[in-house]
């Protein structure tokens, strides 16, 4: 009899433990970028939206080296989702470029904006074209980022060879201010300069170098995963003239085995709580996230995202379906 009671008590305890596990929150780590970037603030807002609006899911933001670092972390199960640019996402998905023979399968949850790649230099350097960067101490983007990989590919195809200096965004901002480095490539805040570029400009005047028509056409032909953006006068910031540069979309991508219902609920929360995101990342004000995602994504969307978008009346093309 005593044995039976003990066995029954044990069974109840196991049952309660199992129930507790079954109802435990799904915990997600979000890979972002440097904490000095405007994009980092966006991912903090995303995490807050998820935590406040997606039942049973808790997320946290991790500072990283951005796109390539995030993809590697996703593959190693150190991150569940994060910032991945459309051009590098394409290479990783197909095992090309920096990911040749080492593909990283991910699915897009949503695109949160186009990203103009700004070539920002000290005004007193006397540079007027991108070709003038030949042999100049210059940072192509933070180590491990999509910005860095793309900038190096662009400079190679247009035949310009700067003297590359490596480092974090904070390092480069300080070195540009101190005139130890002439400039850098930095993803913009939509069409506007990034916060770190604005920070530099408060200390020393800067110029933005644009592509020539010939260079832009070379990029279109040689690097088809990239877009070309025309930035109008004053769009990058007050007083900056119009220029042409390369660009891509910024996605929030995830591992392919993320639960479909979790993905669906996350995308739903993001689309339905856009105001909080726009407060952190102004390019999203009045933006159509589903439309932008379908327009700019270069790799398949997550089935949960597809289901939500189609329920809202958007048509997802076949090439964006897994």
- 8 Å CB contact between 113 and 319: no
pLDDT at residue 23, as a whole number: 58
For residue range 30-55, what is the model confidence (pLDDT) as tens digits?
999 999 888 999 999 999 999 999 99
For 223, how many CA atoms within 13 A lie in the half-sphere containing its CB?
26
- 8 Å CB contact between 81 and 254: yes
Residue the block writes with tokens 């109802």: 23
Calculated CA dihedral for residues 8, 10, 13, 19, nearest 10 degrees: -80
pLDDT at residue 145, as a whole number: 87
Domains of the chain: 27-107+249-320 (3.40.190.10), 116-248 (3.40.190.10)
The full 3-state SS of the chain, as one line of letters, equals CHHHHHHHHHHHHHHHHHHHHHCCCEEEEEECCCCCCHHHHHHHHHHHHHHHHCCCEEEEEECCCCHHHHHHHHHCCCCCEEEEEHHHHHHHHHCCHHHCCCCCCEEEEEEEEEEEEEEEEEHHHCCCCHHHHCCCEEECCCCCCHHHHHHHHHHHHCCCCCEECCCCHHHHHHHHHCCCCCEEEEECECCECCHHHHHHHHHCCEEEECCCHHHHHHHHHHCCCCEEEEECCCCCCCCCCCEEEEEEEEEEEEECCCCHHHHHHHHHHHHHCHHHHHHHCHHHCCCCHHHHHHHHCCCCECHHHHHHHHHCCCCCCHHHCC
Q: Is 276 exposed, middle or buried (0-12, 13-18, 19+ CB in 10 A)?
A: middle
For residue range 237-255, what is the model confidence (pLDDT) as tens digits?
999 999 999 988 899 999 9
Calculated CA dihedral for residues 15, 77, 95, 295, nearest 10 degrees: 80
pLDDT in tens, the chain (322 residues): 444 444 454 454 444 444 444 457 999 999 999 998 889 999 999 999 999 999 999 999 999 999 999 999 999 999 999 999 998 999 999 998 889 999 999 999 999 988 899 999 999 999 999 999 999 999 999 988 889 999 999 999 999 999 999 999 999 999 999 999 999 999 998 889 999 999 999 999 999 999 999 999 999 889 877 878 889 999 999 999 999 999 888 999 999 999 999 999 999 999 999 999 999 998 898 889 999 898 888 899 999 999 999 999 999 999 899 9
Residues in a beta bridge with 245? 229
Report the mean per-residue pLDDT for the chain: 91
Q: Which two tokens stand for residue 219?
A: 């990029």
Q: How far apart, in whole angstroms, are the C-alpha atoms of residue 232 and residue 91?
A: 30
pLDDT at residue 12, as a whole number: 46
Q: Which two tokens stand for residue 220?
A: 């279109």
Residues in a beta bridge with 164? 138
CB atoms within 10 A of CB 303: 16
pLDDT at residue 79, as a whole number: 98
pLDDT at residue 18, as a whole number: 47
For 147, how many CA atoms within 13 A lie in the half-sphere containing its CB?
29
Residue the block writes with tokens 């051009």: 87
Judging by DSSP bridges, how do beta strands 106-122 and 57-62 pair with one another? unpaired
Q: Please compute Rg for the chain using Cα positions.
A: 22
């Amino acid at each position: 009899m005593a044995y039976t009671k003990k066995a029954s008590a044990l069974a109840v305890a196991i049952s309660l433990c199992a129930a507790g596990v079954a109802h435990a929150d799904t915990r997600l780590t979000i890979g972002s970028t440097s904490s000095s970037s405007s994009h980092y603030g966006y991912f903090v807002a995303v995490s807050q939206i998820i935590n406040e609006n997606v039942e049973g899911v808790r997320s946290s933001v991790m500072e990283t080296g951005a796109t390539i670092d995030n993809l590697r972390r996703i593959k190693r199960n150190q991150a569940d989702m994060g910032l991945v640019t459309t051009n590098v996402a394409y290479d990783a998905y197909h095992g090309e470029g920096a990911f040749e023979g080492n593909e990283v399968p991910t699915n897009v949850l949503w695109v949160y904006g186009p990203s103009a790649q700004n070539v920002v230099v000290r005004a007193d350097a006397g540079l007027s074209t991108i070709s003038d960067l030949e042999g100049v101490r210059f940072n192509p983007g933070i180590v491990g980022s999509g910005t860095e990989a793309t900038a190096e590919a662009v400079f190679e195809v247009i035949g310009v060879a700067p003297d590359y200096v490596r480092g974090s965004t904070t390092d480069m901002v300080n070195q540009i201010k101190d005139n130890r480095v002439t400039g850098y490539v930095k993803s913009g805040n939509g069409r506007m300069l990034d916060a770190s570029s604005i920070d530099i400009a408060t200390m020393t005047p800067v110029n933005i170098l644009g592509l020539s028509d010939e260079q832009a056409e070379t990029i279109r032909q040689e690097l088809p995963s990239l877009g070309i953006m025309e930035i109008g006068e004053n769009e990058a910031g007050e007083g900056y003239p119009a220029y042409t540069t390369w660009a891509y979309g910024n996605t929030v991508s995830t591992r392919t085995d993320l639960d479909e219902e979790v993905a669906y609920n996350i995308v739903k929360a993001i689309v339905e709580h856009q105001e909080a995101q726009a407060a952190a990342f102004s390019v999203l004000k009045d933006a159509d996230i589903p439309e932008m995602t379908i327009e700019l994504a270069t790799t398949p969307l997550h089935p949960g995202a597809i289901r939500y978008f189609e329920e809202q009346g958007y048509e997802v093309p076949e090439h964006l379906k897994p």
